[in-house]
Amino acid sequence: MSEALGDNLKLLCSHYRSIAEVCRKLAINRAQFNKYLGGQSRPTPYNLKRICDFFGVEDYELLLPAEQFARLIGARTSGHTASKRGDALLKLLSPLREQTGDLRRYCGYYFEYSNCMSVPGYVLLSLVHLWEEDGDFLFERQERQERSASADVQAEDWVRCRYLGAAFQLQDRLFLMDYESLTLNEMSQTILIPSYKSRLTRLNGLKTGVSSGDRRNPACTRVVWEYLGPEINRISAYRQVRLYRPDDPRIDEDVRQRLNVAPLKDGLFEIE
């Protein structure tokens, strides 16, 4: 089990610039972390929880066999195929890359609020990270929803999605395209209106995609991005990622108005 944990940690670390960066952000001693990577030691429950929250995985997922874990997070197994696909994609997107604006002021972490496509009447809060890499602007969006309404929600009771994508600014709009990296069965697009204020707070826009419900209906929803900062406590932020009732006090009234959630009789809400 420790060997699988080490291999899975190596795969997760490969998405970062270096293992030193991961250790620094986790505040875990490098020598101790190397023991985890080498399968010589297993993290304490406390450290395991921190590692899982940082990478956005569940503890039971991290202990899966390496091949199964790689498929779960959508890792590419063929370097040659990935290179060919990457080259074709770069050629296709080259005009956008040449014309895109500078998005560095938008880099950082956000809470994304949207009217949930698969569970109408609820607000979905996601965690987004936008960063620059070799002149390109990439982002990750993490979602999770409870399988049941039970108050005692275990790790297996969550449905988790991890989207990876690229962002472009063309004239007065931000375009973001992403795909679901765990199942590779969905793509979505978000269009946001840039903020021209000196202090970045919230961005408004629309998101289009396909509902994950049984009918797989195409859907479009208003969306609000709330800027959290260039660095955040990822553990604390990820714990807030879930579905909320529109009248939940944790959803700000300004966000409700931006999402166009209108109150009805008997305390119910609808999307206008």
Contact, 100 vs 219, CB < 8 A? no
Residue 64 belongs to a domain with what CATH number? 1.10.260.40
Written as one letter, the residue type at 91 is: K
Q: Among 72, 89, 110, where does a domain finish?
A: 72
Count of domains for the chain: 2
The whole domain housing 45 covers: 2-72
**Sole residue written with tokens 């590779």:** 184
Please report the pLDDT score of residue 155 as a whole number: 42
* Whether residue 124 sits in one domain with residue 255: yes
Same domain, 39 and 110: no
pLDDT tens across 75-129, in order? 443 333 344 444 576 677 778 777 888 899 999 999 999 998 888 889 999 999 9
Does residue 167 sit in the same domain as residue 226? yes
Computed on alpha carbons and rounded to an integer, the radius of gyration of the chain in Å comes to 19
For 247-257, write each residue's pLDDT tens digit. Answer: 999 999 999 99
* Pair of tokens at residue 231: 């660095």
Question: What global pTM score does this model have?
Answer: 0.66
Does 244 reside within a domain? Answer: yes
Question: For the domain that residue 238 is a member of, what is the CATH number?
Answer: 2.40.128
Beta-bridge mates of residue 206:
191, 222
| Residue 49 belongs to a domain | yes
CA separation, residue 195 to residues 101, 201, 253 (Å): 13, 8, 20
Instruction: Identify whether 79 is part of a domain.
Output: no
Q: Does some domain include residue 83? A: no
Residues 25, 35: Cα–Cα separation, whole Å: 17
Burial class (CB in 10 A: 0-12, 13-18, 19+), 196: exposed
Query: Based on the domain organization, do 123 and 44 belong to the same domain?
Result: no
231 located within any domain: yes
In the DSSP assignment, the letter for residue 31 is H
